[in-house]
Amino acid sequence: MKKQLLIASLFLVSLGATAQKIKEKKGEIFLDKVKVANIEKVKTETPKYYQISDVDGNPLFKVKTFVYKSILFHDDETTDYHVVTGDKIQDTLAIVEKGFYITQKRIVKYLVEAGFLNSNGYNEANIPNLIAKSTKIPTKLVELQNNEKELKKHIGYKVERDFENRDIFIKTYAPKQTTSIKSTMVVTATELEIYQNTATEENPDSEPLLIGYGVYEYSQLLNNTTYKKTYLLNAKRVPLASYVTYNYKTYVPFRKEESDKLDKLKTKEEVLKAMAINHILREKL
């Protein structure tokens, strides 16, 4: 019993030592009512950033928002991520906390909990440890980037076949929940396969040839809008184009196309077939 009480007492002491009251008021950062640093939103540069300085106003580091641009989707897919960098920190440390968002109070809470700041202000002794366990961009974006680099090797791939044959059909599979092909967003996706009919009078039993893929993504967004998009991929699953109502884009090369013909089609299969034929005619599929 005494042992249990001792353990409980030590736990409470430890909890009391680490549970600090964090407060940000008018750009001043307080821990247990003691001012330890300042934070200022700097709007003179684009994009804007937050400057962290010591109690005397000397710069310590910045919290910035960077933009990751997709290798395959170009400007059609960008992802914001946040980092700690600059001044006394001669490196870039990605903020990977789930649900992190940019406000002064949220930044201050993160900087204290992560160990950039403590009751003495700038926690310089802990910075090498933070650098050692951090990445320059979030791990999920690193994985996405590596996957895109691998896919880009097959950007011009086409299945060897009779390219004059435009007789194609679409096979559709049941939808399932998965990650979007161009981001970390969770969507309901329908996988489609694009086949070329190869049967002839001389060879009526010839099997259809798989020449590409399609993905139809659907999601209900937080603002009550609906996300729907159809992607055309080559046989190595490299994205070639995408379509959403009034917006048809190709990725090889990246440009916006006329969408009038696609806008008149009623099903995802019809849309994908039209996109595929368009790319066959351009010798891209």
Taking only the tens of pLDDT, the chain with its 285 residues reads 444 444 444 444 334 435 679 999 999 999 999 999 999 999 877 778 999 999 999 999 999 999 888 899 988 888 889 999 999 999 999 998 877 888 899 999 999 999 999 999 999 999 999 999 999 998 888 888 899 999 999 999 999 999 999 999 999 999 999 988 887 788 999 999 999 999 888 888 899 999 999 999 998 877 778 889 999 999 999 999 999 989 999 999 999 999 999 999 999 999 999 999 999 999 999
Domain boundaries, the chain: 18-149, 159-281
Q: Who's near 149: CB < 8 A, 6+ residues apart?
A: 71
20: tokens are 């600090």
- Asked if 83 contacts 95 with a C-beta cutoff of 8 angstroms, the reply is yes
